[in-house]
Structure 1
Amino acid sequence: MRVGRTPSDEKAAAEPESTGESSTTFRTAWLILVACVAVSLVVAAMAALNTALPDIARATGATTGQMTWIIDGYTLVLAALLLPAGAIGDRFGRRPILMVGVIIFGLGSLAAIWVDSPTELIITRLIAGVGAAMIMPATLSLITAGVPREKRAIAISIWAGVAGAGAILGFFVTGVLLEYFHWHSVFITFAASSLLILLLTFTIGNSKDEHPGAFDIVGSLTSMTAIAAVVFGLLEAPHRGWTDPLILLCLIGGVILIGAFILIEQRRESPLLDVDLFRNRAFAAGSLSVGLQFFASFGVFYLLLLQLQLVFGYSALKSAVALFPMVIGVGVFAMIGNWVAVRFDSLRFVLATGIAIAALGVLAIGIIDADVYWKLGTMLGICAVGIGLATAPSTTAIMSNTPLENQGVGSAVNDTARELGAAIGIALAGSLLAAGYSKRIEGTADLVHSQLSAVDPAAADQAADGVRSSLAGAVEVASQLPPQGAALADQITAGATAAFMPPLQTACLVLGSVLLAGAIFLGWFAPREVIAPEDV
């Protein structure tokens, strides 16, 4: 299948001549800016609360399970609604859907400052997730439909770089706010940013499918249920265990529903998603590459934030700053990767090379003992170079092979690949880390119990359970011991760190191996051209 220059493409390409080069250039740059500001808000909100969670837990009394869903509820709703939201934008207009999404996101964020319980806070996060699902595909589809064809690759490069670095922006901004203000300031910032973006959207143009078919209700419900089930299973698996009946039901049931969705879409005249797009090797390779990038980045973020804060002793803000090599690498090499892929018809080379370099960086974290930051920062920078090279070409391949009238759905495929990749990466990294830590920590937990049981048996049980739960739990137990327990505190910290680092490195080796296998596959499967020829 080939999607070449459509009449809309010709119109977009000719627009500079009819409206004036400088005027078109300004409108193009302004559209890109507004879209990037909006997508950065959505991505930052996915990561920001990881930093604020300890303060939120203390203020609301949230349990471990509730803390998980303060974070994951947003991601679950976002992932489940992306495809229908993208299709609605194509049908009714991408700018109106962006505006509605920004309003919903802002109201959900603002409501969070008045809640009293963890359950209420989770509900506000679900509402914000609904808004985010409407914002994210609209931003990219507005760019691809509204930017002249010859500037589209650069625009997508900028969007992809911003979206890739948005999580670290969330960590950083939240860290700065928590240094000086209450955790409510995070949600106030989200709400204020939403108002600003809403005002900015009045200054950009609209686009939509002029001849939409009937809306695919059955496909929408099936896709939402399937993705929600899979994402729920992946997010909960590290906590419940992969053999938990609910996890198995969600994962197996979700995969079955994905199969049903494919069959349903193949039989509909106006499908939510034309699944035949995946027969296009550029589209399919781009989708796989996006999933692999976020599989690596969010899995590594999950592991390294724990290492930076609990092993290196960094504050939340300093940890965010320590991840800046990722921002620089992705931002710079996104532009380079897309230019090379488009200019030299080298999509296969750029995707395979980028993912392979990212794999080497992640494998290096698993092999080299990073006892000082510069070692860790160097390896993180290598990961960032690889992800940066692959990120924009992947999105360009997806959007260039999606019909112009369906850009919202194409954008949603790109974003769904991101969410699924991130969920799988976090689930795999979290499960390997938890299993390895539990296997190695028993000796330290027994030592804590034996030394404290003579003084307070109940406290001894509680302290031992805290040490067994996680490195964070062990650090908390050590910090609460009285001054005369300093020797025991040092033993707890040393034992917990020794139990934490080997599974962290094992998790990186597994993540890196998956990336390397993906790079090899992309080197065989991906076509040379960004727009795949009809015979592939």
Structure 2
Amino acid sequence: MDPQTVQRRRWAILGVLTLSLLVVVLDNTILNVALKTIADPHKGLGATQGQLEWSINSYTLVFAGLLFTFGVIGDRLGRKRVLVGGMLVFGVASLASAYAQSPEQLIWARALMGLGGAAVMPQTLSIITNVFEPAERARAIGIWAGAVGLAVAIGPVTGGLLLAHFWWGSVFLINVPIIVVSALLMAFLVPESRNPLPGRLDPLGVLLSIVGLVALSYGIIQGGDKGAWLTPAVLGPILAGAAVLALFVWHEARTPDPAFDVKLFRDPRMSVAVAAIALCFFAASGVFFFSAFYMQSVRGLSPLESGAMVLPFAAAQLFFSPRSAAMVRRFGAKAVCAVGLALVGVALGGFMTVGAHTPLWVLGVVFFVQGTGMANVMPPVTESVMSALPREKAGAGSAINNTARQVAVAMGVAVLGSVVASVYRGDLHDRLAELPPAAREAAGQSIAGAHAVADRMGAAGTSLAEPANAAFVHAMHVSSLVAMIIAFAGALVVLRWMPGRQERDDAPAATPTPEQEPAGV
């Protein structure tokens, strides 16, 4: 495809890439609204709180562990080819998830979806970086980032609509027709590109990253499930995971072709931007996880109603993401990103004001503020990451950006989900002691389990349902406080270390080398 044709079609290409990105991100958020249904032993799979966390984390951990590798594979084999192949794998895994017969099958199918998503995500940003010239790239990345935020918000609404008419597996089955259409459009519109000097693969690095992240997440989730953190079953995996991740960093700093190039973090634009996006998504992901249970179990909303409650988040994303590039030009990425993280922190703190009977419009305002903040974090930090690298390393930059986000999502769900589980079980301990062993176990696993037990108890169930609601709200407040502190810490990191406009203007311009010419568009 000649460069003139690519330039004429660049916005159509962006539309196709955004559609593929939308379905990958959408699948993670669409699952949130279906969690309560999947936990139901009659309507769903009877999954426990820990299994629900793993249904999210099996996807995000495989996704994060393979992102950088697929960025290199795309640079080597061709980004379009890897993109289409990843979409097809994602479609097959979506079918497997839709028809899973047990929580364990769902967890493994979701892991396969993570593999497909890891092949898709870095190619989208790499192709955008190659198709758009620097003058338009910030705007294109803003639209790309807006699609991520939009998917976060419309996922719950879409899931609610599907669950109102179909079984829980429909939230995965909806991916298939979108994937078919996207793959066909990619074949005709998207140009092929690759790095003329691609790196070699690093299987040991990939293995160490996945083992370390899985072990660390397993220990954290076990701590939340058991309510006891100082036991060998919890501390062992956490310490082992931390040790393996330390070995991973040591290996990556010394191998000539790393799976995750830690040396790139010497550039403050890269390191601070990655830290900002990681802290933002760590704080926000856990809140999305427990807010679905709050709306459906504590407030009694249907999946559709709880999905509609997230629409203010979508509205904020749609309005502010495309405008973030102009804000950065006027005020600088440092100021925009810091204010965005501060707004996220304010919103997360707002969850501490939400109780069992708070007017729902308050929750809508909190979601809107959170969406506004995140819309002004993602575009500037993504542009900072991509601008720190030459074009032929676009795959690596995209992978670093998305790896940070996915690892943060996994850790946020694991850590904040475990905080909720621990506080909830601790507050409800005395009430659970009065129940038979089977009912005690079910009610202690999650708020959904407590309501299921209360329903079986008939009129006497009120004595369990109301304390369970109070315990969950308290747990939500504690988790929100932790998330708020993390978001504000991210804002301080940006203010302290992200280069400002004057610092960037004073930086010496890099001299182009032959290897830094745009990869064949």
Q: Shared fold by TM > 0.5?
A: yes
Q: Given that residues 157 and 308 in structure 2 are in contact (C-alpha distance below 8 angstroms), is that contact kept between their aligned partners in structure 1?
A: yes
How far the C-alpha of 1:117 sits from its partner, in A, is: 4.2
Taking a change above 3 Å as real, the CA distance of residues 442 and 267 of structure 1, as seen in their structure-2 partners, is: closer
Change in CA separation of 1:137 and 1:44 when aligned onto 2, cut-off 3 Å: same
In structure 2, the residue matched to 1:209 is 195
Distance 2:63 2:490 in 1: 26
Change beyond 3 A, Cα 1:151–1:416: same
Q: Judge conservation of contact 2:221–2:418 (CA < 8 Å) in 1.
A: no
Aligned residues of 1:158 and 1:335 also touching (Cα < 8 A): yes
2:147 pairs with 1:175 = no
Instruction: In structure 2, list runs of 5 or more residues that go unmatched.
Output: 510-521
Matches within 5 A, 1:104-503: 104-202=89-187, 203-240=189-226, 242-341=229-328, 343-344=329-330, 346-367=332-353, 369=355, 371-446=358-433, 449=435, 460-482=436-458, 485=459, 488-503=460-475
Gap regions ≥5 residues in structure 1: 1-14, 450-459
Tell me the distance in 2 between the aligned counterparts of 1:67 and 1:514: 24
Count of aligned residue pairs for this structure pair: 501
What does 1:66-85 align with in structure 2 at a 5 Å threshold?
66-85=51-70
Change (3 A) 1:121 1:59: farther
Cα gap change, 1:311 to 1:399, in 2 (>3 Å): same
SS at 1:207 equivalent: coil
- In 1, are the aligned partners of 2:68 and 2:399 still within 8 Å (CA)? yes
2:71 and 2:112 mapped to 1: Cα distance? 17
The C-alpha deviation readout for 1:401-452, integer Å capped at 9, x for no partner, is 1221111121111111111221222223222222222222234335x54xxx
Partner of 1:42: helix, strand, or coil?
helix
Distance verdict in 2 for CA 1:256–1:440, change over 3 Å: closer
The answer to whether the Cα contact below 8 Å between 1:282 and 1:531 also exists between their aligned partners in 2 is no
Q: Match for residue 513 of structure 2?
A: none
Distance 2:93 2:484 in 1: 37
Residues 363-410 of structure 1: CA distance to partner in whole angstroms, max 9, x if unpaired? 122146471111121122222211111111011111111221111121
CA offsets, 1:181-234, max 9 Å, x none? 233333322122221111111121122101224333443333343344444444
The alpha-carbon deviation at position 524 of structure 1 amounts to 0.8
- C-alpha change, 1:117 and 1:308, in structure 2 (3 Å) is closer
Q: CA deviation at 1:60?
A: 6.8
Distance 1:215 1:463, change over 3 A: closer
Aligned-residue Cα RMSD (Å) equals 2.7
Counterpart-to-counterpart distance in 2, 1:211 and 1:321: 47
- Counterpart AA for 2:438: Q
Give the C-alpha shift of residue 44 in structure 1.
1.5
1:159 Cα deviation after fit: 1.0
Query: Taking every aligned residue pair, what percent have the same amino acid on both sides?
Result: 31
- TM-score normalised per structure 1: 0.86
Which of 48, 58, 75 in structure 1 is aligned with 2:42?
58
Separation (CA, whole Å) in 2 of partners of 1:118 and 1:376: 31
Between 1:191-200 and 1:110-119, the stretch displaced more is 110-119
CA distance in 2, matches of 1:246, 1:444: 26
CA distance in 1, matches of 2:474, 2:102: 37
Larger Rg, first or second structure (1 or 2): 1
Aligned to 2:31: 49
1:103 alignment partner in structure 2: 88
Deviates more, 1:280-289 or 1:425-434: 425-434
Q: Which residue of structure 2 aligns with residue 37 of structure 1? A: 19
Aligned amino acid, residue 157 of structure 1:
G
CA offsets per residue over residues 93-129 of structure 1, 9 Å max, x none? Answer: 1111111101111112223455544443333222222
Contact 1:400 1:531 in 2 (8 A): no
Residues 63-89 of structure 1: CA deviation (Å, up to 9, x unaligned): 425444333322221121111111111
Q: Distance in 1 between matches of 2:438 and 2:237?
A: 33
